[in-house]
Amino acid sequence: MYNEKVMEHFMNPHNAGEMENPDAVGNYGSPVCGDMMEISLKIENNVIVDAKFKTFGCGSAIASSSVATDMIMGKTLEEALELTNKNFIDELGGLPGPKIHCSVLAEQAVRHAIYDYAQKHGLELEGLKDFD
């Protein structure tokens, strides 16, 4: 059901765990299954310099968190906001159809973390315009 790359990120996820004194934290719970993801960020000069995740969810959600945290590191907040779950799925080489929505957890947790940062610092980011 899962390809090798997904299995690899599931068995050895990158950036899993707790972060001390994060600059921003985002949580998102899936309306579909009730599973949850939390993403913590360190941000310097508008660039994401570190990212960590905690995921209470299935293997697809864990693999998605792993690639998502890898991919946002080194990106500006604006660049990170442009990434969608589709980018994470592509990076994983695909997810089985019924598991695609699990990758939305990663997209949304990243957006919530950046939103948290923008709120704290009074930033207006184009990519957060439609965010509620």
Residues identified as active-site: 33, 102
The 4-43 site mask, x for binding ligand FES (CB under 6 A), equals --------------------------x-xx-x--------
Which residues, listed in sequence order, are joined to residue 40 by a DSSP beta bridge? 25, 52
Query: CA distances (Å), 106 to each of 57, 122, 123, in order?
Result: 11, 24, 22
Between 35 and 70, name the residue whose CB sits nearer to ligand FES: 35
Between 10 and 117, name the residue whose CB sits nearer to ligand FES: 10
Query: CA distances (Å), 83 to each of 13, 32, 89, 90, 98, in order?
Result: 19, 21, 11, 11, 21
Q: Total residues at the site for ligand FES (CB under 6 A)?
A: 11
Task: Tell me, rounded to whole angstroms, the distance of Cα 124 from its chain centroid.
Answer: 20
- The binding site for ligand FES (CB under 6 A) comprises 30, 32-33, 35, 57-58, 60-61, 101-102, 105
